[in-house]
Amino acid sequence: MQRTSYRPIDCLHFIDGRFMPSLNGKTFANMNPATEETLGTVAEGGAEEVDLAVQAARRALNGPWKKLSANERIAIMRKIGDLILERKAELAALESLDTGKPLWLSESVDIPRAAYNFHFFSDYIRTITTEATQQDDVALNYAIRRPVGVIGLINPWNLPLLLMTWKLAPALAAGNTVVMKPAELTPMTATVLAEICRDAGVPDGVVNLVHGFGPNSAGAALSSHPDVNALSFTGETTTGKVIMAAAAHSLKRLSFELGGKNPNIIFADSNLDEVIETTLKSSFINQGEVCLCGSRIYVERAAYEPFLDKFVAKTKELVVGEPFAEKTKVGALISEEHYERVTGYIRLAVEEGGTILCGGKRPDGLDTGYYLEPTIITGLDRKCRVVNEEIFGPVVTVIPFDSEEEVLEQVNDTHYGLSATVWTNDLRRAHRVAGQIEAGIVWVNTWFLRDLRTPFGGMKQSGIGREGGLHSFEFYTELTNICIKL
């Protein structure tokens, strides 16, 4: 077994340029989901720490951050990206210790993408223009873009550094100041990120970090704080509803990236080997704990049996194991509570009349840690809870279909609308079907292929707004139209 040489860290808040414990000294334990051992302590913030952080962010907004030229800001942002890459091995190890995900995944996806978020948005900000509108010889209108102000960034535990930087980079590029609230289960990489920001020359108060929980804790305090102008939140749909209500008092601008129950639609004319290779990832990568995972798989009847045969056989080959072991493909689920929730859905699938084709249990020999074999379920009716509710684990259902109309009707029969994948070699059908799926992102013959210029987000109860490229800057900036009488 290969072990990391990086030690876990204790996590403090980062407020106004310095690391600090909670005012009352309160902490909570950070657990390793792969070993069920304690990794260290985390400062437990609440309303007071959030208020200090918001005040610091407000001062910095109108102070040092505003005084920097765009070029100076861009240079600092590029440096943050560079420092993330310099500390890649350490960040990857901390991310895997915190989440239970395989080290190779942290090294190849989470951490490089976190650096790229900074490099991408620091380049992109240079290309942004605003509009000018001339009204005959009467008036000239032009818009200027300004920061929105103090932004709260609230994030989940599944892709901790990737998602924090996906918000932090455009927020900073646009001249805002921020208070970050990482998930309580994964506090370590956000803590290193705060240190990296300081080392890259971000002035005091521009980037603040408060650890803590959601309800009656740092998350609730941030989402209801009257001096926070906007919130970008990624997490569960139910949490989004609570945050929206808390934010209503001060009418904060909101960007929400929420849950999903994403469909994969596989037509019989598609290349089965390609389908299987990608579907293994879209089902089980990161233990199925990616909001974009395709957990409802619909297969055209002619391909149903051949697909299932190969898919089950290949799924059984996936090695579930310790995050730092080289051969591991699937690591540990995030927590005991989540493990109970996911396995509860597997028990429910059996009660609802489903057949477990593979997985459904703890792998032999892994008695400690929240390990679960990748699970494929068939035989469930479309109305079953397991087919309709987000499980957020390595569990998929497979259902046959006979026509485009029928599958589209089933696919859209949900409150969610985040992403989908369509598999077919018929170009017209791909376009026709993609355009009818009620989702913010539709991939054709691929999955999770990202271009950061494109709109990213969900429709229906999977989100509000889009981020990515110009869409991020639409959220993180305010426009003022100036009208000059000629």
Ligand X SMILES: O=C/C=C/C=C(\O)C(=O)O
CA distance 331 to 343: 16
DSSP string, 239-282: HHHHHHHHHHTTT-EEEEE----EEEEE-TTS-HHHHHHHHHHH
Q: Which of 356, 387, 360 is nearest to 371 (CA)?
A: 360
Cβ atoms 110, 95 nearer than 8 A = yes
CA distance 208 to 177: 8
172 makes contact with ligand X (CB under 6 A): no
DSSP state of 126: G
User: Which residue, 50 or 342, is less far from ligand X as judged by CB?
Assistant: 342
165 makes contact with ligand X (CB under 6 A): no
418 makes contact with ligand X (CB under 6 A): no
User: Which residue, 300 or 474, is less far from ligand NAD as judged by CB?
Assistant: 474
User: Which residue, 159 or 180, is less far from ligand X as judged by CB?
Assistant: 159
Residue 55, Ramachandran bin (φ over 0: left; ψ between -120 and 50: alpha; else beta): alpha
The span of 78-86, 94-102, 180-188, 277-285 binding ligand NAD (CB under 6 A) equals 180-188
Cβ atoms 369, 390 nearer than 8 A = no
Tokens 């995972």 label which residue? Answer: 293
239 makes contact with ligand NAD (CB under 6 A): yes
CA distance 75 to 411: 45
116 makes contact with ligand X (CB under 6 A): no
Interstrand relation of 132-135 and 37-43 (parallel, antiparallel or unpaired): unpaired
Find the binder of ligand X among 265, 290, 384, 386 (CB under 6 A). 290
294 makes contact with ligand NAD (CB under 6 A): no
Q: Which does 450 bind (CB under 5 to 8 A by kind): ligand NAD, ligand X, none?
A: ligand X
The span of 76-84, 243-251, 287-295, 325-333 binding ligand X (CB under 6 A) equals 287-295
Catalytic residues: 257
DSSP state of 287: G
Find the binder of ligand NAD among 160, 203, 219, 321 (CB under 6 A). 219
Residue 72 identity (one-letter amino acid): E
Find the binder of ligand NAD among 54, 183, 197, 433 (CB under 6 A). 183
407 makes contact with ligand X (CB under 6 A): no
Residue 437 identity (one-letter amino acid): I
Judged by CB under 6 A, the chain residues 437 through 456 that form the site for ligand X are: 450, 456
Q: What residue ranges bind ligand X (CB under 6 A)?
A: 158-159, 163, 166, 290-292, 450, 456
Q: What are the residues binding ligand NAD (CB under 6 A)?
A: 154-158, 181, 183-184, 213-215, 219-220, 223, 234-236, 239, 242-243, 257-260, 291, 390, 392, 418, 458, 463
